[in-house]
Amino acid sequence: MKFGVVVFPGSNCDRDMHDALRHDLRQEVVMLWHKDSDLSQFSTEDCIILPGGFSYGDYLRCGAIARFSPMMQSVIEFANAGGRVFGVCNGFQILCESLLLPGALLRNANQQFVCKNVFIKADNDEIYKIPVAHGEGRYYADDQTLAKLEANGQVIFRYCDENGKITAEANPNGAINNIAGICNENRNVFGMMPHPERACSEVLGNTDGRQIIKNLLMAGQLVGLE
């Protein structure tokens, strides 16, 4: 598997993602500029990643301008053909703006930027400690969309406490149903607000992010995680 990391003006987690994949997880990584559009070097067995940051300064709405970049047109086609696409934080916002994922990310309920470690529970009940850093991370969807997500098992992460209990107190941004991450119906497009790439290095004292990337994207193929 090969990874492509898209770089937008205002991306600030692209190198974090690159280093986590290449140095911590020992994977092949290619940096992709937003004005380019060629994804011919990738197959649908590979993965394109939209990193965190403030694409185009978030001047209109988070992810709204990035959605129209030449590279995103190719990413949309890649995803519709079955290729894996993973968006983190601002990348999650871009996926929702691009309609590759349903719903929207709204301003945090407390109207403040939040930057801290949180706990999230995966749909297999595994609990991870992962950093968040966002001001517009409150996931929202209408009742019909939310019911469909829940019925299809598309909610892949929820905010919880360290014991895995899903509570309002454990929710850092007011996201509906404590949702921290979702996928599409075909389970090849994934988005989450927490930053797994910031929890991949032993130097940082937390490698929970490695397991998240493995479980979501690698189907057991990731080197060096046993």
Is residue 115 annotated as a catalytic residue, yes or no? no
What Å distances lie between residue 40 and 33, 43, 123, 207, CA to CA? 14, 7, 33, 32
For the CA atoms of 125, 128, 133, 139, what is the dihedral angle to 10 degrees? 0
Which of 47, 89, 96, 160 is catalytic? The answer is 89
Scan for tokens 């189907």, then name that residue. 219
Cβ of 179: how many Cβ atoms within 10 Å?
Answer: 26
Is residue 195 annotated as a catalytic residue, yes or no? yes
Q: How far is C-alpha 189 from the geometric centre of its chain's CA atoms?
A: 9
**Length of the chain (residues):** 226
Is residue 45 annotated as a catalytic residue, yes or no? no
Among all residues, which ones are annotated catalytic?
A: 89, 195, 197
